[in-house]
Amino acid sequence: MEVGVAPAVDVGSMAAPLAVSARNVSMVYRLKGYGNGYGVPALDDLSLDLRPGELVSIVGPSGCGKSTFLRLVADLLRPTAGTIQVSGMTPTEARRRRTYSFVFQNPVLFPWLTLAQNVEFALEITGATSRQRQAIARERIDLVGLRGFEAALPRQLSGGMRQRAAIARALTLNPSLLLMDEPFGALDEITRERMNLELLRILSETRAAVLFVTHSIDEAVILSDRIVVLSPRPGKPIATIPIELPKPREKATRYLPEFVEATIRARRALHEGEV
Protein backbone atom coordinates (compact mmCIF):
# COMPACT_ATOMS: atom_id res chain seq x y z
CA MET A 1 0.00 0.00 0.00
CA GLU A 2 1.29 3.43 -0.93
CA VAL A 3 2.17 5.63 2.01
CA GLY A 4 1.42 9.35 1.96
CA VAL A 5 -1.06 11.33 -0.07
CA ALA A 6 -2.48 10.68 -3.50
CA PRO A 7 -1.73 12.61 -6.64
CA ALA A 8 -4.53 14.48 -8.35
CA VAL A 9 -6.83 12.26 -10.38
CA ASP A 10 -8.61 12.65 -13.67
CA VAL A 11 -12.24 13.19 -12.76
CA GLY A 12 -13.34 12.51 -16.30
CA SER A 13 -17.05 12.96 -16.75
CA MET A 14 -17.67 13.97 -13.14
CA ALA A 15 -19.14 17.46 -12.79
CA ALA A 16 -16.78 18.17 -9.91
CA PRO A 17 -14.25 16.15 -7.93
CA LEU A 18 -15.18 14.88 -4.51
CA ALA A 19 -14.64 17.41 -1.73
CA VAL A 20 -12.76 14.68 0.16
CA SER A 21 -11.76 11.23 -1.01
CA ALA A 22 -9.90 9.04 1.49
CA ARG A 23 -8.79 5.52 0.65
CA ASN A 24 -7.51 2.94 3.16
CA VAL A 25 -6.11 5.61 5.47
CA SER A 26 -4.22 4.47 8.56
CA MET A 27 -2.39 6.58 11.11
CA VAL A 28 0.06 5.47 13.77
CA TYR A 29 1.54 7.97 16.20
CA ARG A 30 5.18 7.26 17.06
CA LEU A 31 5.92 8.06 20.70
CA LYS A 32 9.50 8.72 21.76
CA GLY A 33 11.20 8.23 25.09
CA TYR A 34 10.49 4.53 25.49
CA GLY A 35 13.48 2.66 24.15
CA ASN A 36 13.27 2.95 20.38
CA GLY A 37 9.74 4.33 20.67
CA TYR A 38 6.46 2.57 20.02
CA GLY A 39 3.44 3.14 17.87
CA VAL A 40 -0.09 4.07 18.95
CA PRO A 41 -2.57 3.32 16.15
CA ALA A 42 -5.21 6.04 15.76
CA LEU A 43 -6.90 5.09 12.47
CA ASP A 44 -7.07 1.80 10.60
CA ASP A 45 -8.06 1.38 6.96
CA LEU A 46 -10.52 4.30 6.83
CA SER A 47 -12.15 5.08 3.48
CA LEU A 48 -14.60 7.96 3.11
CA ASP A 49 -16.05 10.15 0.36
CA LEU A 50 -17.54 13.62 0.82
CA ARG A 51 -19.46 15.10 -2.10
CA PRO A 52 -19.60 18.83 -2.90
CA GLY A 53 -22.24 20.55 -0.78
CA GLU A 54 -22.66 17.52 1.50
CA LEU A 55 -22.35 17.49 5.29
CA VAL A 56 -20.95 14.29 6.78
CA SER A 57 -20.54 13.90 10.53
CA ILE A 58 -18.00 11.58 12.10
CA VAL A 59 -18.91 10.16 15.50
CA GLY A 60 -17.19 7.65 17.73
CA PRO A 61 -15.76 7.16 21.20
CA SER A 62 -13.03 9.45 22.51
CA GLY A 63 -9.61 8.64 21.11
CA CYS A 64 -10.88 6.86 17.98
CA GLY A 65 -9.12 9.23 15.57
CA LYS A 66 -11.93 11.61 14.56
CA SER A 67 -9.86 14.77 15.01
CA THR A 68 -6.81 13.00 13.61
CA PHE A 69 -8.67 12.40 10.37
CA LEU A 70 -9.55 16.09 10.04
CA ARG A 71 -5.90 16.97 10.57
CA LEU A 72 -4.87 14.52 7.87
CA VAL A 73 -7.31 16.12 5.43
CA ALA A 74 -5.99 19.56 6.42
CA ASP A 75 -2.37 18.56 5.75
CA LEU A 76 -1.47 19.07 9.42
CA LEU A 77 -0.47 15.39 9.61
CA ARG A 78 0.61 12.80 7.04
CA PRO A 79 -1.01 9.36 7.03
CA THR A 80 1.04 6.30 7.83
CA ALA A 81 -0.72 4.51 4.96
CA GLY A 82 -3.41 5.23 2.40
CA THR A 83 -4.28 8.20 0.20
CA ILE A 84 -6.28 11.42 0.58
CA GLN A 85 -7.54 13.85 -2.04
CA VAL A 86 -9.21 17.21 -1.41
CA SER A 87 -11.18 18.54 -4.38
CA GLY A 88 -9.07 16.34 -6.65
CA MET A 89 -5.78 17.62 -5.21
CA THR A 90 -3.33 16.47 -2.61
CA PRO A 91 -3.99 17.96 0.85
CA THR A 92 -0.81 20.01 0.46
CA GLU A 93 -1.96 21.55 -2.81
CA ALA A 94 -5.46 22.14 -1.41
CA ARG A 95 -3.91 23.97 1.55
CA ARG A 96 -1.79 26.14 -0.73
CA ARG A 97 -4.84 27.03 -2.79
CA ARG A 98 -6.88 27.72 0.37
CA THR A 99 -9.53 25.24 -0.71
CA TYR A 100 -10.67 24.56 2.85
CA SER A 101 -11.03 26.30 6.21
CA PHE A 102 -10.77 24.76 9.69
CA VAL A 103 -13.10 25.62 12.59
CA PHE A 104 -11.92 24.36 15.98
CA GLN A 105 -13.82 23.79 19.22
CA ASN A 106 -12.07 26.85 20.64
CA PRO A 107 -12.88 29.91 18.48
CA VAL A 108 -9.21 31.07 18.74
CA LEU A 109 -9.99 34.78 18.55
CA PHE A 110 -7.30 37.33 19.34
CA PRO A 111 -8.46 39.04 22.55
CA TRP A 112 -6.96 42.42 21.60
CA LEU A 113 -8.74 42.59 18.22
CA THR A 114 -12.34 43.55 17.62
CA LEU A 115 -14.78 41.08 16.13
CA ALA A 116 -14.40 42.71 12.71
CA GLN A 117 -10.60 42.64 12.92
CA ASN A 118 -10.66 38.96 13.93
CA VAL A 119 -12.89 38.13 10.97
CA GLU A 120 -10.58 40.07 8.63
CA PHE A 121 -7.44 38.35 9.90
CA ALA A 122 -7.29 35.50 7.37
CA LEU A 123 -7.77 37.98 4.54
CA GLU A 124 -4.95 40.13 5.86
CA ILE A 125 -2.59 37.16 5.66
CA THR A 126 -3.55 36.63 2.01
CA GLY A 127 -2.63 40.23 1.18
CA ALA A 128 -6.13 41.59 0.54
CA THR A 129 -6.45 45.35 0.62
CA SER A 130 -8.10 47.12 3.54
CA ARG A 131 -11.16 47.88 1.42
CA GLN A 132 -11.45 44.25 0.29
CA ARG A 133 -11.06 42.95 3.84
CA GLN A 134 -13.71 45.25 5.21
CA ALA A 135 -16.21 44.46 2.46
CA ILE A 136 -15.83 40.69 2.73
CA ALA A 137 -15.79 40.70 6.54
CA ARG A 138 -18.93 42.84 6.63
CA GLU A 139 -20.70 40.37 4.34
CA ARG A 140 -19.67 37.36 6.44
CA ILE A 141 -20.54 39.09 9.71
CA ASP A 142 -24.00 39.77 8.32
CA LEU A 143 -24.28 36.15 7.20
CA VAL A 144 -23.65 34.78 10.71
CA GLY A 145 -25.99 37.31 12.31
CA LEU A 146 -23.46 39.50 14.14
CA ARG A 147 -24.14 42.88 12.58
CA GLY A 148 -23.86 45.58 15.22
CA PHE A 149 -21.09 43.79 17.14
CA GLU A 150 -18.20 44.63 14.81
CA ALA A 151 -16.43 46.79 17.42
CA ALA A 152 -16.86 44.34 20.30
CA LEU A 153 -13.88 42.52 21.80
CA PRO A 154 -14.11 38.73 22.25
CA ARG A 155 -14.55 39.05 26.03
CA GLN A 156 -17.69 41.10 25.37
CA LEU A 157 -19.28 38.31 23.33
CA SER A 158 -21.12 35.18 24.43
CA GLY A 159 -19.73 31.74 23.63
CA GLY A 160 -22.14 31.29 20.75
CA MET A 161 -21.25 34.71 19.33
CA ARG A 162 -17.53 33.94 19.50
CA GLN A 163 -18.11 30.70 17.62
CA ARG A 164 -20.14 32.56 14.99
CA ALA A 165 -17.21 34.95 14.60
CA ALA A 166 -14.88 31.98 14.06
CA ILE A 167 -17.22 30.61 11.39
CA ALA A 168 -17.42 34.03 9.72
CA ARG A 169 -13.62 34.19 9.63
CA ALA A 170 -13.44 30.70 8.12
CA LEU A 171 -15.88 31.73 5.39
CA THR A 172 -13.97 34.86 4.36
CA LEU A 173 -11.76 32.78 2.08
CA ASN A 174 -14.86 31.33 0.38
CA PRO A 175 -13.77 27.70 0.96
CA SER A 176 -15.38 24.82 -0.86
CA LEU A 177 -14.73 22.64 2.22
CA LEU A 178 -15.19 23.34 5.93
CA LEU A 179 -13.48 21.10 8.48
CA MET A 180 -15.26 21.47 11.82
CA ASP A 181 -13.86 19.81 14.94
CA GLU A 182 -16.56 19.87 17.65
CA PRO A 183 -17.18 23.59 17.11
CA PHE A 184 -20.15 23.67 19.49
CA GLY A 185 -18.87 21.22 22.10
CA ALA A 186 -18.25 23.89 24.76
CA LEU A 187 -21.70 25.48 24.46
CA ASP A 188 -24.73 24.84 26.65
CA GLU A 189 -27.44 22.61 25.16
CA ILE A 190 -29.87 25.40 24.27
CA THR A 191 -27.18 27.50 22.55
CA ARG A 192 -25.81 24.43 20.83
CA GLU A 193 -29.17 23.51 19.33
CA ARG A 194 -29.67 27.07 18.11
CA MET A 195 -26.17 27.08 16.59
CA ASN A 196 -26.92 23.82 14.77
CA LEU A 197 -29.80 25.46 12.94
CA GLU A 198 -27.79 28.64 12.35
CA LEU A 199 -25.02 26.58 10.76
CA LEU A 200 -27.50 24.92 8.41
CA ARG A 201 -28.82 28.34 7.42
CA ILE A 202 -25.30 29.63 6.75
CA LEU A 203 -24.35 26.56 4.74
CA SER A 204 -27.49 26.84 2.61
CA GLU A 205 -26.06 30.14 1.35
CA THR A 206 -22.41 29.11 0.97
CA ARG A 207 -22.90 25.53 -0.33
CA ALA A 208 -19.58 24.45 1.18
CA ALA A 209 -19.05 20.76 1.86
CA VAL A 210 -18.55 20.03 5.56
CA LEU A 211 -16.69 17.32 7.43
CA PHE A 212 -18.01 17.63 10.99
CA VAL A 213 -16.66 15.90 14.12
CA THR A 214 -18.94 15.62 17.14
CA HIS A 215 -19.63 13.50 20.21
CA SER A 216 -23.33 14.38 20.09
CA ILE A 217 -25.60 11.93 18.26
CA ASP A 218 -28.48 14.43 18.20
CA GLU A 219 -26.22 17.10 16.69
CA ALA A 220 -24.95 14.69 14.03
CA VAL A 221 -28.49 13.72 13.04
CA ILE A 222 -29.90 17.26 12.79
CA LEU A 223 -26.94 18.48 10.71
CA SER A 224 -25.94 15.61 8.49
CA ASP A 225 -26.65 14.09 5.14
CA ARG A 226 -24.71 11.05 6.37
CA ILE A 227 -23.16 9.92 9.66
CA VAL A 228 -19.99 7.79 9.69
CA VAL A 229 -19.56 5.86 12.93
CA LEU A 230 -16.03 4.87 13.93
CA SER A 231 -14.97 2.01 16.16
CA PRO A 232 -12.88 2.48 19.32
CA ARG A 233 -9.17 3.10 18.66
CA PRO A 234 -7.89 2.46 16.13
CA GLY A 235 -10.89 4.03 14.45
CA LYS A 236 -12.35 2.38 11.40
CA PRO A 237 -15.84 2.81 9.92
CA ILE A 238 -18.36 0.39 11.40
CA ALA A 239 -21.52 2.02 10.02
CA THR A 240 -22.65 4.69 7.57
CA ILE A 241 -26.10 6.06 8.31
CA PRO A 242 -27.93 8.15 5.68
CA ILE A 243 -30.07 10.90 7.20
CA GLU A 244 -33.21 11.47 5.15
CA LEU A 245 -34.90 14.19 7.17
CA PRO A 246 -36.84 16.90 5.33
CA LYS A 247 -35.08 20.18 4.59
CA PRO A 248 -34.88 22.92 5.67
CA ARG A 249 -34.50 21.47 9.15
CA GLU A 250 -35.95 23.34 12.09
CA LYS A 251 -36.70 22.99 15.80
CA ALA A 252 -39.63 20.68 15.15
CA THR A 253 -37.39 18.29 13.17
CA ARG A 254 -36.07 16.90 16.46
CA TYR A 255 -39.56 15.60 17.30
CA LEU A 256 -40.07 13.67 14.08
CA PRO A 257 -40.15 9.85 14.28
CA GLU A 258 -37.44 9.74 11.58
CA PHE A 259 -35.14 11.84 13.79
CA VAL A 260 -35.62 9.50 16.76
CA GLU A 261 -35.08 6.45 14.55
CA ALA A 262 -31.81 7.86 13.18
CA THR A 263 -30.46 8.60 16.68
CA ILE A 264 -31.29 5.03 17.73
CA ARG A 265 -29.48 3.60 14.71
CA ALA A 266 -26.39 5.66 15.45
CA ARG A 267 -26.36 4.70 19.14
CA ARG A 268 -26.76 1.03 18.29
CA ALA A 269 -23.79 1.26 15.92
CA LEU A 270 -21.68 2.87 18.65
CA HIS A 271 -22.66 0.23 21.20
CA GLU A 272 -21.89 -2.63 18.85
CA GLY A 273 -18.39 -1.22 18.45
CA GLU A 274 -17.65 -1.07 22.16
CA VAL A 275 -15.03 -3.40 23.60
Per residue in 89-132, pLDDT (tens digit) is 999 999 999 999 999 988 889 999 999 999 999 898 888 889 99
Task: Please state which CATH class domain 1-99+175-275 belongs to.
Answer: alpha beta
Q: Measured over all CA atoms, what is the biggest interatomic distance in the chain, rounded to whole angstroms?
A: 58
| Residues 267/220, Cβ–Cβ less than 8 Å | no
Helix (H, G, I), strand (E, B) or coil at 80: coil
Q: Residue 64: what pLDDT?
A: 93
Q: Residue 37: what pLDDT?
A: 59
Please report the sign of the dihedral spanned by the C-alpha atoms of residue 98, residue 109, residue 191, residue 141. Answer: negative
In a 13 Å sphere around the CA of 3, the CA atoms on its Cβ side amount to 5
CB burial string 57-68: b at 16+ within 10 A, e below: bbbbbeebbbbb
Q: Residue 186: what pLDDT?
A: 85
Angle among Cα 69, 71, 73 to the nearest 5 degrees reads: 70
Residue 109 phi/psi, 5-degree rounding, is: -95, 145
Pick out the chain residues at pLDDT < 50: 1-14, 274-275
Residue 184 to residue 24: CA distance in whole angstroms: 29
Which helix (H) or strand (E) element contains residue 269?
Answer: helix 257-272
Give CATH 3.40.50.300 domain extents, the chain.
1-99+175-275
